[in-house]
Amino acid sequence: MTVTETPTDDAAVSTAETAVAPDHPMVVCDNLVKIYKIAELEVFALQGLDLVVRRGELLGIVGASGSGKSTLMNILGGLDRPSAGRVWVDGMDLLNLTDAALDAYRRSMVGFVWQQGARNLIPYLNALENVELPMTLAGQAGREKRERALELLEAVGLAERRGHRLSELSGGEQQRVAIAVALANNPRLLLADEPTGELDSNTALSIYKTFRDLNTRYGLTILIVSHDATIARHVDRVVAIRDGKLATETVRQKVTSAGEQSQHSEILEELTVLDSAGRLQIPKEYLERTGIKSRVRLEMTEDGGILIRPVNEQQHAPTAEALGAALSEAQRTRRARSTLSRWLARLIRR
């Protein structure tokens, strides 16, 4: 991905005065790399991840355990810094923020919801007091604070539970309070890392619905990490991370069937993502079924596609026939000459 625009606002975390175009993406990750070093061992948690999230988008992020989802969320949440690459949130270059500016970013620009709702909450405060707490810490007081806290509890469907303590709320209700707490300081971006991981499927559904309501009501950009493949039905788009890179993207498409009464329905289509260098990830099960290991043969097809064929790894040297064809082609094109010299070099090395 090429980022031609490099919007920076590293002086401070400004909110109202950050003048960015409405069509400006909320999140841009460009070739993001995160390496964790434990003693001599290096773990590549993100390996050149590219991602653009539209303003007001409700995005699902799926991937196997250890694929780098939380690492990405922590970077976007300002809890961790990448090892290489670039990342912008709402036009702000997170790499160039000072520690103090990153602190301010965490407090005012992003809201975080964890898997355990209770992690965001203070047990001996009631729901309303929990939602008010971040506002109190930010220096807000009085009626405005109370009104906003009540509005948020109402928005997550918990207005009538406002006086309940943590122990008097169900897991799903605790998670709703946690969402309201995350929104207390009016963030632009809401990050939820496996928010339904500990909930049954019905409660999970109601949490997804809450995210959708908030997305519609406030135009909030929301990123939800989930291990639940059915999340595709509840969000605008799902991206799948594999080995620290974006592998596929599932988009919803509206289809209208012709007929006496035209019917509208939705289909989900999973597309493989190509990175800026033209690389793509082939699903493991495809590799296993085709026996593809470290080399393939690419062929242009007549209908304008590209075919990936397995090659026999032991004999990936060209056949006499292919060599003959390349020899005659070599007189005409430079590309054929370079293919030919590569093949010859390979033959000589054997």
Of residues 31, 70, 196, 215, which one binds Mg ion by CB under 5 A? 70
Give the residue with the Cβ less far from Mg ion, 72 or 131.
72
Other Cβ atoms less than 10 A from the Cβ of 257: the count is: 9
Are the C-beta atoms of residues 34 and 68 closer than 8 Å to each other? yes
Q: Under rule CB under 6 A, which residues in 21-40 are in contact with ligand ADP?
A: 36, 38
Of residues 57, 60, 71, 121, which one binds ligand ADP by CB under 6 A? 71
Of residues 1, 11, 21, 43, which one binds ligand ADP by CB under 6 A? 43
Of residues 25, 29, 70, 78, which one binds ligand ADP by CB under 6 A? 70
Is residue 74 close enough to count as binding Mg ion by CB under 5 A? no
51 to 62, 177, 274, 275: CA distances (angstroms): 13, 29, 11, 10
Least distance to ligand ADP from the beta carbon of 35, Å?
A: 9
Of residues 49, 58, 69, 188, which one binds ligand ADP by CB under 6 A? 69
Give the residue with the Cβ less far from Mg ion, 62 or 127.
62
| Cα–Cα distance, 95 to 102 (Å, whole number) | 9
| Cα–Cα distance, 266 to 13 (Å, whole number) | 40
Q: Which does 286 bind (CB under 5 to 8 A by kind): ligand ADP, Mg ion, none?
A: none
> Interacting stretch for Mg ion, rule CB under 5 A, among 66-74, 114-122, 290-298, 309-317?
66-74
Give the residue with the Cβ less far from ligand ADP, 71 or 120.
71
Q: Give the number of residues in contact with ligand ADP, rule: CB under 6 A.
A: 12
| Cα–Cα distance, 207 to 230 (Å, whole number) | 13
Report which DSSP code applies to 118.
Answer: G
Residue 71 phi/psi, 5-degree rounding, is -60, -45
Are the C-beta atoms of residues 171 and 198 closer than 8 Å to each other? yes
Least distance to ligand ADP from the beta carbon of 45, Å?
A: 3
Give the residue with the Cβ less far from ligand ADP, 36 or 286.
36
Closest CA to 241 of 193, 294, 295: 193
Is residue 48 close enough to count as binding ligand ADP by CB under 6 A? no
Is residue 196 close enough to count as binding ligand ADP by CB under 6 A? no
Is residue 219 close enough to count as binding ligand ADP by CB under 6 A? no
Residue 25, classified by CB atoms within 10 Å of its CB into exposed (0-12), middle (13-18) or buried (19+), is buried
Coil/strand/helix, residue 175: helix
Closest CA to 47 of 29, 60, 62, 64: 29
Least distance to Mg ion from the beta carbon of 111, Å?
A: 18
Instruction: Summarize as ranges the residues that interact with Mg ion (CB under 5 A).
Output: 70
Instruction: Summarize as ranges the residues that interact with ligand ADP (CB under 6 A).
Output: 36, 38, 43, 45, 63, 65-71
